[in-house]
Chain A
Amino acid sequence: KNEVEQSPQNLTAQEGEFITINCSYSVGISALHWLQQHPGGGIVSLFMLSSGKKKHGRLIATINIQEKHSSLHITASHPRDSAVYICAVLQGGGSNYKLTFGKGTLLTVNP
C-alpha cells in the first residue's frame, strides 16, 4: 500500500463545476503539499499546510491531521485548471526533510 493515496486518478468536469480531489496518507507528517503540473510542464507548489485550511483565489486546501486526510477544492473550475494535481507529504525534521508523493490526479475541465 502506498503511503500517499489520491482519489480520483482521473477527473473530467465541465467549466464552472466545483472540484474536489482527495489525499489520504498513512504516516506521520510535518506538513502536506499540493502541487500542480501542467502537461509537458514543470511542477509548481500550490499549498503547504499542517493544519486547518488555506485559500488562494479559487483554490482551497484543507487538512485533517487526526484522520490523515486532505482535500483540494477548485471553485468555478476553468479549462486552464486542467493539469495533474499531486499530493505530497513532508516527513522528517532537523536536517532531514523528505517528500513522499501520491501518483497524482489528472483533471480535465471542458469548456
Chain B
Amino acid sequence: NAGVTQTPKFRILKIGQSMTLQCAQDMNHNYMYWYRQDPGMGLKLIYYSVGAGITDKGEVPNGYNVSRSTTEDFPLRLELAAPSQTSVYFCASTNGNQPQHFGDGTRLSIL
C-alpha cells in the first residue's frame, strides 16, 4: 500500500518556467489537499478537493492551479514560477474527519 505518492522529490526551476507537481493516493480517499511549508511558518493550504471534479481555493492559492479528474490524482500546476514559490510542498489525503495521510513532500527552488 503506497499511501500518498508525490513526484518529483526535488526540482529547480528558472523564473517564469512552469511545472506540475504530481500527487497520487491509493486509499480511495475523497479529500485531497496541497500545502506549502516555508521556514519558520506553519503549513499553509493552497488548494483542496472534496472529490473528483470538485476543487476549491485554500489560504494561499495565487500562482497555482489544480485539477481533480480522478479520485486518485490531484496535480498542482505552477504556470509562471516566481521566487516566492520556493518552498516545500506537501500533498495529503483523508476521508473527511480522519487523520490526514501526507506524502513525502516536493522541495522546489526557483532561481
* A contact residues vs B (CB 8 Å cutoff): 2, 4, 30-31, 33, 41-45, 48, 86, 88, 90, 93, 95-104
Contacts and interface: CB of A to CB of B under 8 A. Distances in A.
Contact of B42 (A4, A93, A95): A4
Closest 6 CB pairs of A and B: A101-B42, A45-B99, A43-B102, A42-B104, A101-B43, A103-B42
Given A30-B97, A43-B102, A48-B99, A99 B45 contact: yes
A101 to B, nearest CB: 4
B101 interface: yes
* Max count, chain B CB within 10 A of own CB: residue among A30, A101, A102: A101
B41 A97 contact: no
Contacts of B31: 97
A33 B58 contact: no
Nearest to A87: B42
A44 B42 contact: no
25 contacts: A2-B42, A30-B97, A31-B97, A33-B100, A41-B104, A42-B90, A42-B103, A42-B105, A43-B102, A44-B102, A45-B100, A45-B102, A48-B99, A86-B43, A95-B50, A95-B96, A98-B33, A98-B45, A99-B33, A99-B43, A99-B45, A101-B42, A101-B43, A101-B44, A104-B42
